[in-house]
Structure 1
Amino acid sequence: MAVQHPLVPEWAERILRLIADLKITQARLAERLGVSPATVSRWIQGKHEPTAEGYVALGNLSPRRDAVYFWERAGMDVANLPDASINKAASSVRVNLDELNLIAGSRVSKQLTDAANAVAIPLLRVSAYGDKVPPRENVSLAEVEVEAILLAPLAWCPNPDQMIGMHVEGDSMMPVIADGSILFVDTAKTDREQLDQKIVVVSHRDLGFKVARLQRLENTDLLLSANHRHMPLDVSNASRWKVFGEVLWWVSRDRGPAAA
């Protein structure tokens, strides 16, 4: 057993061990997690602890002995898990989706119950706006709280360590995506050429996040809302409008019939 340096916390030792287990460099780990190499360097030196989102991503990359440790530090309740098996964690930790209807795909509860492998996805306390009124100010993801940890089948996540969940506010994507829905975003997919006609989340340095369908024209990139009352938005200026990721699927509450 490796002797832990008294000045380096256990989480730093485990991250260093993960790099060795994966046989990759610090820079490659940073790339896979979507952080800077300097951030990973500070982690393994014990100078700066990962955020909850970072811990979830580390857990998704880790072998069995460390995955649950990272997920626990992210805030996931693993008290009832019999051991550190990722598969047992995936089958034992349940997401309450009884009040949610899946918009794209088949039955969520069946998929999660039967999944042999699952991905833990952090649901962030942040919203992509779906109308013409943006948030009052931009939000730094480094300061965003993790509201919950959700599970999804591994087959639904091409880049499992770069998946996040976020809320939707507004009606610009109605009736496709309802106000109050939860988006599941693959933040590894940011190449505009590959996202034409895809639903994406983009971020503006002053206006926060926006969700819509990307349409690429000869000299212009537009965000198109599903709601015809909302005009297209020009996002051609890539220095101001950055593609945050592709929306792979979403869920919304069944609000039931309107009261008479």
Structure 2
Amino acid sequence: MLFAERIRESREKNKLSQTELGEKIGVSLSTITRWENGKRTPRSEELLALAKVLNVSVAYLLGETDSFAPFDNEEKADINKNAKATPLNLKDYLRVPVITMRTPACAGEGNGLDYVELEAEEWDFLGKKSIATYDDMRPPFGVYVEGDSMEEMDIPDGSVAYVNPAEEPRNGECALVVYRGQWSIKGVFINKDGSVTLRAGKPQYNLEIPADVAEDPMWFKIIGKVVEVKTTKKPKSFW
């Protein structure tokens, strides 16, 4: 996960152990470990302290920029001003669960928030600007991408694709779908006869779904539109 990796990489660049970093910002070793494992996310004041100690911008830690810019004291005012806006106490971000493609999928009613949270491998931050519509009952989540079929569409193996179930993809846009019980990210084209074409970056992975199958939610379902992709290192194992 990008956020967790950036904490670890920034800490190592500053030649700090997890214990030393925890002491500098006033949290325990176990808290630092959970952040770097993606199992927990910091509160706004902890995020600010992290950025200051590691001398990077909050935007860099959150994955909003790849620029390794130094910490700016003006960020403190921005964070404090927006302190009550979200569960993260940051106005412009959502805390979202991240799961793997190997998570069992339900093609009927889809996977609700409770299910996704239960299966979450990690947690990350998603900028609200990536989301056009938000639904409390179907909130965004991230999925680790496994395979290279979408690399030509800038969704490489090991990246995290953020999916918003509240947004329906327009023809040609990428979406997370469930087909025959398997998760897949593809470009979605709904044809006039009701059939669906799923297009990959590599043509050999394209799929044609007949209309009668596409209309049966037990066989096929569009989970949501892919609204953002973050490139990150692939986990050592998905099992």
TM-score normalised by L of structure 1: 0.48
Q: Out of 176, 190, 200, which is 2:175 matched to?
A: 200
Q: Is residue 78–residue 93 contact of structure 1 (8 Å, CA) maintained in 2?
A: no
Secondary structure of the residue that 2:152 maps to in structure 1?
A: coil
- Structure 1 residue runs of 5 or longer lacking an equivalent are 1-73, 83-90, 98-105, 128-134, 256-260
Residue 123 of structure 1 deviates from its aligned partner by 3.4
Letter in structure 2 aligned against 1:210: S
- Structure 2 residue runs of 5 or longer lacking an equivalent are 1-38, 48-56, 83-90, 235-239
With over 3 angstroms needed to count, the CA separation of the structure-2 counterparts of 1:155 and 1:109, relative to structure 1, is: farther
Task: Supply the distance in 2 between the matched residues of 1:254 and 1:168 (Cα, whole angstroms).
Answer: 11
Residue 229 of structure 1 deviates from its aligned partner by 2.3
**Residues 148-181 of structure 1: CA distance to partner in whole angstroms, max 9, x if unpaired?**
22142x3222235522111111121122211111
Q: Is residue 176–residue 183 contact of structure 2 (8 Å, CA) maintained in 1?
A: yes
1:169 aligns with 2:146: yes
Q: Is residue 222–residue 236 contact of structure 1 (8 Å, CA) maintained in 2?
A: no
Task: Supply the distance in 1 between the matched residues of 2:171 and 2:94 (Cα, whole angstroms).
Answer: 28
| Residue of structure 1 in register with 2:230 after alignment | 251
Letter in structure 2 aligned against 1:236: A
Q: How many residues align?
A: 154
Task: Supply the distance in 2 between the matched residues of 1:184 and 1:230 (Cα, whole angstroms).
Answer: 21
Matches within 5 A, 1:84-163: 95=61, 97=63, 107=65, 117-127=91-101, 135=102, 137-138=104-105, 142=115, 143-152=118-127, 154-160=128-134, 162-163=139-140
1:180 aligns with 2:180: no
**Residues 177-233 of structure 1: CA distance to partner in whole angstroms, max 9, x if unpaired?**
11111111111024xxx62111111124x5231110011212111111111222323
Secondary structure of the residue that 1:169 maps to in structure 2?
A: coil
**Residues 229-258 of structure 1: CA distance to partner in whole angstroms, max 9, x if unpaired?**
223231623422111100112121489xxx
TM-score normalised by L of structure 2: 0.52
Task: Supply the distance in 1 between the matched residues of 2:151 and 2:182 (Cα, whole angstroms).
Answer: 20
Residue 109 of structure 1 deviates from its aligned partner by 5.7
Q: Which runs of 4+ in 1 moved over 4 A?
A: 91-94, 113-116
Report sequence identity in percent: 16
| Residue of structure 2 in register with 1:43 after alignment | none
Letter in structure 2 aligned against 1:217: N
1:224 aligns with 2:199: yes
With over 3 angstroms needed to count, the CA separation of the structure-2 counterparts of 1:254 and 1:210, relative to structure 1, is: closer
Task: Supply the distance in 1 between the matched residues of 2:103 and 2:133 (Cα, whole angstroms).
Answer: 31
Q: Is residue 60–residue 67 contact of structure 2 (8 Å, CA) maintained in 1?
A: no
Letter in structure 1 aligned against 2:92: A
With over 3 angstroms needed to count, the CA separation of the structure-2 counterparts of 1:118 and 1:201, relative to structure 1, is: same
Task: Supply the distance in 1 between the matched residues of 2:172 and 2:142 (Cα, whole angstroms).
Answer: 21
| Residue of structure 1 in register with 2:11 after alignment | none
**Residues 57-100 of structure 1: CA distance to partner in whole angstroms, max 9, x if unpaired?**
xxxxxxxxxxxxxxxxx943228459xxxxxxxx9697364xxx
Task: Supply the distance in 2 between the matched residues of 1:145 and 1:183 (Cα, whole angstroms).
Answer: 14
